């Protein structure tokens, strides 16, 4: 495939007079988009150190973000997307881990970088560093397309290098299963630091679709997200099941999805109850997508529209799935084992982490092909479809018994009144070696514990019945819109233990702010009033923006730009104190103007 890269797919499928991207009030046609990509690529080839094949992109959501991505792809440099809504320390960790490289960013983020080989999108003096002669690049699909971070299930960020050829295979493979037709409109709802962003942008633009980018406020706000989907007549959406459940909680009838033709769900387990709800409320084709970041976004797809059971489908083209035991011996169809993936989608490996690469990317015993150990359990049925059983990490020992957390969640979700259910094991602080099995759940009504316990007891063995059943308003989410299990664990810890009481949380403003945070995160007000630390009750950078939007509306104030950084607030009281100062300043200004 030497001589062909992702940029050529964009050129081949361009629709010159058609709209390419809409973001807020900004619209850009394909003709202008490609021209600006070409101009930018020419400039980058002069300012960048072309011997360093990596480029950090730290930009806000805009057409310019996509221009930067395609410009780097054109000149054969791997882009490293970092979402500016992430906490400062997390961004610094990501940047430091990548090491010295080229940069595309805005002047307001220059403090993160040394003054070398930087391209500023918002400055007349765009270049920092030595200018070079423009170089002609030999395009090669074996170049890396991007380096992206994933924390997997460990919470430790690891950078993964993905080849251009792997992205091209993803585009071709998905388009054999799902109709990404020219002229369709797709919503871009995910963070640029989440690999499924590739489908909503790179794949979509290479196939001639119109991309409607949600801004930071629309990303996590179900009301604004619904409005975006409805007003832009979106045909295709891609969501995690948790984000879809958030839309359901906002609008049980899912009116915003009436015109949607294709719904892609992945990144988490899709429950049968959510599938049935979507089938009853929409006319869309519903696809269950499966694949770890290490195998290039999605490795298998299942069209569930006409099915009653949830499976993860069959591998896309040039992809093989093996089910193996702990010693990597292949297991017969119908038997549960670890899902391993081989083929064109395999990543180069983890950047600057050879030990982890060697551990997770191994040779199979059948034909010595390189494959990735996903850490997921599943089995293959006779017709070749794969059924996902659960995470290796989520099969844990509790008092000598093996407990399957996802099995508990599935059974709980089958209850007609439960929207979402998440099971976690919590280490008791009061009794050593006495862990607690907790089930957190959401519902549109108040569910009696004995009713739910009876439902579980009829369907689960005794050792898998949760010790505690806790109804909350919302399931806390990570920045990538997946379930935040760590935050759920901390909810129970805070319910059991004495918390900070260093600040008076009983003022009217305090109560109002706590109510806003509670309605946004799902954390009970009684817990928040005890002043826990922000990160430990599910507040992350994405959720924090949602809280800010609501606070600004209700208090008629505006956060200063520097205080939009989530890491500035250690605990709930620090948010309260800042708002109290803003309200006081606002009153003084009003008094001075009268």
Q: How crowded is the C-beta side of 215, counted as CA atoms within 13 Å?
A: 11
Alpha carbon distance 329, 322 (integer Å): 9
Residue 500: which pLDDT band, with cuts at 50, 70 and 90?
A: very low
* Cβ(147)–Cβ(161) below 8 Å: yes
CB atoms within 10 A of CB 563: 14
CB atoms within 10 A of CB 416: 7
Does residue 131 surpass a pLDDT of 60? no
Give the pLDDT score at 296: 98
pLDDT digits 0-9 by tens, 47-102: 888 888 999 999 999 999 999 999 999 999 999 999 998 877 778 888 988 888 99
CA dihedral 448, 453, 459, 461 (to 10 degrees): 170
Q: Which residue has the tokens 């309260």?
A: 576
Q: Who contacts 60 (Cβ-Cβ below 8 Å, separation ≥6)?
A: 84, 106, 216
Give the pLDDT score at 497: 46
Give the pLDDT score at 480: 76
Residue 299: which pLDDT band, with cuts at 50, 70 and 90?
A: very high
Residue range 254-258: mean pLDDT, rounded: 94
Residue range 380-391: mean pLDDT, rounded: 90
Residue range 289-305: mean pLDDT, rounded: 97
Give the pLDDT score at 18: 92
Q: Helix 541-555 vs helix 508-521: angle between axes, to the nearest 10 degrees?
A: 140
Give the pLDDT score at 205: 97
Residue range 285-306: mean pLDDT, rounded: 97
Query: Strand ranges (DSSP E) for 68-141?
Result: 78-81, 102-105, 118-120, 127-128
Alpha carbon distance 58, 349 (integer Å): 23
CA dihedral 311, 312, 313, 318 (to 10 degrees): -160
Give the pLDDT score at 433: 47
Q: Helix 405-413 vs helix 272-281: angle between axes, to the nearest 10 degrees?
A: 40
DSSP state for residue 533 in the 8-state scheme: B
Nearest to 149 by CA among 345, 408, 352: 352
Give the pLDDT score at 521: 76
Does residue 176 surpass a pLDDT of 60? yes
Helix (H) or strand (E) holding 273: helix 272-281
pLDDT digits 0-9 by tens, 3-22: 578 999 998 877 778 999 99
Coil, helix or strand at residue 558 = coil
pLDDT digits 0-9 by tens, 387-431: 999 888 776 767 666 788 888 998 999 898 999 999 998 875 544
Give the pLDDT score at 393: 74
Residue 174: which pLDDT band, with cuts at 50, 70 and 90?
A: very high
102-132 as b/e: b if 16+ CB within 10 A: bbbbeeebbebbeeebbbbbeeeeebbbeee
Give the pLDDT score at 193: 92
* Cβ(323)–Cβ(339) below 8 Å: yes
Residue 432: which pLDDT band, with cuts at 50, 70 and 90?
A: very low
Alpha carbon distance 222, 220 (integer Å): 6
Does residue 459 surpass a pLDDT of 90? no
Domains of the chain: 6-380 (3.40.50.12780), 394-492 (3.30.300.30), 508-592 (1.10.1200.10)
Residue range 559-572: mean pLDDT, rounded: 80
Both tokens assigned to 582: 């803003």
Alpha carbon distance 447, 472 (integer Å): 11
* Cβ(103)–Cβ(118) below 8 Å: yes
Give the pLDDT score at 52: 87
Residue 460: which pLDDT band, with cuts at 50, 70 and 90?
A: confident
Least reliable range by pLDDT among 37-51, 60-74, 179-193, 329-343 = 37-51
* Cβ(340)–Cβ(292) below 8 Å: no
Least reliable range by pLDDT among 61-70, 199-208, 220-229, 286-295 = 220-229
Does residue 474 surpass a pLDDT of 50? yes
């Amino acid at each position: 495939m030497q001589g062909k890269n992702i940029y050529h797919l964009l050129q081949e499928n361009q629709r010159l007079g058609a709209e390419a991207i809409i973001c807020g009030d900004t619209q850009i046609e394909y003709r202008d988009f490609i021209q600006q990509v070409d101009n930018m690529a020419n400039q980058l080839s002069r300012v960048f150190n072309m011997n360093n094949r990596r480029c950090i992109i730290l930009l806000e959501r805009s057409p310019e973000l996509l221009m930067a991505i395609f410009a780097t792809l054109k000149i054969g440099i791997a882009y490293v997307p970092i979402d500016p809504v992430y906490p400062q320390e997390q961004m610094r960790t990501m940047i430091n881990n990548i090491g010295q490289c080229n940069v595309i960013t805005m002047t307001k983020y220059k403090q993160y970088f040394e003054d070398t080989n930087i391209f500023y999108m918002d400055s007349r003096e765009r270049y920092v560093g030595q200018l070079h002669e423009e170089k002609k690049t030999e395009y090669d699909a074996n170049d890396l397309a991007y380096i992206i971070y994933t924390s997997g299930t460990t919470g430790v960020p690891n950078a993964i290098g993905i080849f251009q050829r792997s992205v091209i295979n993803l585009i071709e493979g998905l388009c054999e299963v799902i109709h990404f037709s020219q002229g369709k409109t797709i919503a871009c709802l995910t963070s640029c630091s989440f690999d499924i962003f590739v489908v909503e942008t790179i794949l979509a633009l290479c196939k001639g679709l119109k991309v409607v980018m949600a801004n930071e406020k629309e990303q996590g706000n179900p009301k604004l997200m619904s409005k975006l989907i409805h007003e832009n007549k979106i045909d295709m959406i891609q969501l995690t099941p948790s984000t879809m459940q958030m839309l359901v909680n906002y609008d049980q009838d899912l009116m915003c999805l009436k015109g949607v033709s294709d719904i892609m769900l992945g990144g988490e387990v899709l429950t049968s109850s959510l599938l049935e709800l979507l089938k009853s409320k929409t006319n869309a084709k519903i696809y269950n997508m499966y694949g770890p970041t290490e195998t290039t976004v999605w490795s298998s797809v299942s069209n569930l529209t006409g099915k009653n059971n949830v499976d993860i489908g069959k591998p896309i083209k040039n992809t093989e799935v093996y089910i193996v035991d702990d010693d990597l011996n292949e297991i017969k169809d119908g038997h549960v084992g670890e899902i391993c993936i081989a083929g064109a989608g395999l990543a180069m490996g983890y950047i600057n982490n050879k030990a982890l690469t060697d551990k997770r990317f191994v040779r199979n015993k059948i034909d010595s092909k390189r494959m990735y150990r996903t850490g997921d359990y599943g089995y293959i049925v006779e017709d070749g479809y794969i059924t996902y059983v659960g995470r290796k990490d989520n099969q844990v020992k509790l008092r000598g018994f093996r407990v399957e957390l996802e099995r508990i969640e599935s059974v709980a979700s089958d209850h007609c009144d439960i929207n979402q259910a998440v099971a976690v094991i919590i280490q008791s602080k009061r009794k050593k070696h006495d862990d607690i099995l907790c089930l957190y759940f959401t519902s549109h009504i108040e569910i009696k514990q004995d009713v739910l316990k009876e439902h579980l007891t009829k369907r689960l063995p005794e050792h898998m019945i949760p010790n505690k059943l806790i109804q909350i308003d919302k399931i806390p989410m990570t920045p990538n819109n997946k379930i935040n299990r760590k935050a759920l664990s901390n909810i129970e810890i805070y319910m059991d233990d004495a918390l900070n009481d260093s600040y008076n949380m009983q003022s009217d403003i305090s109560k109002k702010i706590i109510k806003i945070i509670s309605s946004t995160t799902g954390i009970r007000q009684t817990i928040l009033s005890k002043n826990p630390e922000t990160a430990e009750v599910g507040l992350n950078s994405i959720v924090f923006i949602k809280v800010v939007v609501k606070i600004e509306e209700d208090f008629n104030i505006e956060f200063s730009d520097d205080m939009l950084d989530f890491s500035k607030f250690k605990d709930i009281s620090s948010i309260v104190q800042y708002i109290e100062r803003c309200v006081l300043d606002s009153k003084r200004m009003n008094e001075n103007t009268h």
